[in-house]
Amino acid sequence: MNTALNKVADPEVRAQLYENVTGLMRLAYEQQGIKALESTRRIAAVHEAGHAVVFEATADGVRWWRAYRLRIWRNDEIPGVNFGEVKRRYHPRRR
């Protein structure tokens, strides 16, 4: 599975993060059942909006343009799950 954890270069740090995330997901499932794994359209939109906010707060404004498109779609294979993405346009550094 391709996740943000794949971007962590150090294999030991990546393994520890994976273990932490797995433990938190297991705890959430134990406490809330299947609802803990639900991803409604609203939850997906809020999650993706968070990416746009973090990007806006951390981007240098030179190499990257602002987020310009937020897309949410239902996963027909898993009931109650929606996915999303934030699109950004790459802006090559001007010299």
For 13, the 3-state DSSP assignment is: helix
What is the three-class DSSP state of 24?
helix
Bridge partners for 84 per DSSP? 72
> Do 47 and 76 belong to one domain?
yes
pTM of the model: 0.56
Name the CA radius of gyration of the chain, rounded: 17
Q: Is the same domain home to 19 and 59?
A: no
Do 59 and 95 reside in the same domain of the chain?
A: yes
Q: Is the pLDDT of residue 95 over 60?
A: no
Q: What is the C-alpha separation between 88 and 68, in angstroms, rounded?
A: 6
| Residue 24 in this model has a pLDDT that exceeds 90 | yes
Pair (72, 95) in one structural domain: yes
Distance CA 22, CA 28 (A): 10
23 and 42 in a single domain? The answer is: no
What pLDDT, on the 0 to 100 scale, is given for residue 93? 53
Q: Are residues 1 and 28 in the same domain?
A: yes
Assess contact for 75 and 40: CB atoms under 8 A: no
Q: What is the pLDDT of residue 27?
A: 96
Q: How many folded domains does the chain comprise?
A: 2
Are 43 and 89 in the same domain?
Answer: yes
Q: Which domain holds residue 45?
A: 38-95
pLDDT digits (tens, 9 = 90+) for 37-89: 888 889 888 888 887 777 777 765 555 566 667 788 888 887 888 888 877 66
